[in-house]
Amino acid sequence: MSDCKLQPLLISLFVLLSFLSGHAQSKTPALQALEAGRYEEALKLYQSQLQDNPRDIQALAGKSKALLALDRFPEALPPAEKALTLAPDNPDMLAQRAAVLTRLERPQEALADLNKAIELLPNTSYLHVARGYVYAELGQFHESIDDHSLAISLNKDAILSYAGRAYARAQLGEIDEAFEDVEYALKRDPNLVPAIHTYADLLFRRVRFQEALPQYTRGIELKPEDAYLWSGRGGVYSALDEVNKALADYNKAIELAPNRPPLYSARGNLLARMGRLTEATADHNKAVELGQNSPTTLVSRGQFFLDWTELYSLALEDFDKAVALAPDMADAFLGRGEAYLALDKPRVAILDFNKAIELAPSIMFAYTARGEAYEAIGEPAKAEADYRYVLEITPTYSPALLGLGYLQLSRDEFAEARKNFDSALEHASDPEQVWAARKAVGRLLVRLNIKDYSEFPVDLVYDIHDDEELMKDDLRADDLLDLDLKELPEIPIDNKLARRIDTQRVLVIQ
C-alpha cells in the first residue's frame, strides 16, 4: 500500500497552517493565547467574545482553531461553518474549514474549500502550502510538489513548503531532492520542529537509523508535548530492535494524546512484531473505536491483518467497510485489491486497482500493484506496461523498478534486471523498499549461479552457495540486511550468452 507513515505529520502541519490565516488580525488577548499554545484559555476568551457578538467571524474562526488544537474535531466544525455562512467568500474562513475537514478525514471536501480560496486569492502563499499538504494526504504527490513550489515562488520564507515538498518528493523516490529541501528549511530555521520531524523521517526511510534517532530526540526536546515525535522515535527504536524502548516511546505518545487513532495503530504493529498479537489486535480495535469506524482507521487495521496475521478475510471486511463509507477513497480500493491478491483473486483485485487509479491517478503504487496482479493472471505484457508507465513519470520509483526487474529476470535479461534492482535500492523511500531491493539482488545472484564465473572477482565475505540463509526457499528480506551491495561484482555475461538472450528476445517479439 502507499506509504502513510507521515500522515500524522501532515495533519499536524496542516493544523499549524490553519493558524497562518489569522496573521493580519489585531493581537487580541484571545489570539495571543491561541498563538502561545494556551488553547483552553483561548477557547474561553473566544466564547466570551461570541456571547457579546455571535456574528464575529474572527472569534468563530478562533474558536474553531482552539478546538482543533485540542483535538475536539467534531466541535471545531460548526463555528467554522457558521463563519463561512456569514462570509462565504472569505479565503481565511475557507482555509479554516479545510483544516477541520482534514482532521475529520474528509480531504476531498477540504480540497474543494482550498480550491475556492485559491480562486479568490490565487497568489496567496499559505493557501498553496495548505493545498500542498492536502494533495499529499490524498496521495497526489506531483500536485503537492507543484503547489509547494508555487508557494515558495510567491514567498521565499514559506519554509513549511520546503518540508512539505520534501515529503512529497520522498514518496516519489526523489530522495536527494527531498534531503535538499528539508536541509534548506533547517538551515533557515534550525528549530523548526516540522522540518526536524521530516528530516528524521527521511533518515529513517534511508535506513540511517542511528542518524534519525538524535533528530527525533532533538525534536522531542524542543516540543516534548508532540506525541508524534515520540511515536516517530519509537519507530526508530523498533527498527534498531530495541523493542522495549520503542514500546516506552509509543506508550508516552499515547499518554500525551490518548484519543489519536494513528498512535494505537503504530503501537499495535510493534506489538505484532513482538509476537503479542492479542494486544496488537486490541490496539488496532481501539484505533477503529476512537476513529468511530472512520475509513482511515479501517484501512489501517485491514493493512495490519494483511501484514501481520494473514487473516485476509478480516482484512477484506475492513476494506469493504471503508469502501462503503468512503467510495472516493483510493486507499480503501487499493487495500481491498491487495487483500484480493492475497486471497488469490487477482482478476477481482485488478478491478479495485483500476478504481483506485481512476480516483487518484497519481498514486504510483496502484499501478505497480496492478502490474503484480497482471503477472498473476499470466499477462506479463500488461504488467510491464504498468511498470514502464510509472517509470516514465517517476524514473526513481522503487516498487516499479523492482517489478520490471523481476520480469526481466524471468526472461534471463540479467544485466537489465541488475540495473533496475540497483536503481531500486538507490532510490528506495523506506526500509521495506531497501530490504526488497536487497532481496532482489540476492535472487539475481542465485539465478546467475555466480560460481560458474570464477574468472570474475566476487568479493563477498562469504560464499553465496554455502550460505544456508541466502539459499533457502523461503528467503525473507530481513535475511539480506547485512549484504553490502557495493561489494557485489558486475554481472558477468559472456558473448555467447548475450547472443542467446538476444535471440530469445527476437523470437518472443516475432
DSSP string of 154-185, one letter each residue: H-TT-HHHHHHHHHHHHHTT-HHHHHHHHHHH
pLDDT of the residue at 122:
94
pLDDT of the residue at 279:
97
The residues near 356 (Cβ < 8 Å, ≥ 6 apart) are 330, 331, 333, 334, 337, 363, 366
502 vs 262: CA distance, rounded Å: 51
At 391, phi and psi to the nearest 5?
-70, -25
Residue 21, amino acid = S
* pTM beyond cutoff 0.95: no
- Angle between helices 57-69 and 91-103 in degrees, nearest 10: 20
pLDDT of the residue at 473:
52
Cell of 446: 542465485
Mean pLDDT by 10 residues, the chain (510 residues): 43 51 66 88 94 94 91 91 94 93 87 96 93 88 94 90 89 84 94 91 83 96 93 92 94 93 94 93 95 89 92 95 91 96 96 92 88 96 96 89 94 91 83 82 76 36 45 48 45 36 27
Helices (H), 240-379: 243-256, 261-273, 277-290, 295-304, 312-325, 330-342, 346-359, 364-376
pLDDT of the residue at 371:
97
pLDDT of the residue at 361:
80
pLDDT of the residue at 17:
53
**Number of helices and strands (H, E) in the chain?**
28, 0
pLDDT of the residue at 474:
54
CA distances from 321 to 155, 293, 296, 315, 390 (A): 42, 9, 11, 10, 29
Q: Taking a C-beta distance cutoff of 8 angstroms, is the pair 161, 188 a contact?
A: no
DSSP 3-state helix, strand, coil percentages of the chain (rounded to 5)?
A: 75, 0, 25
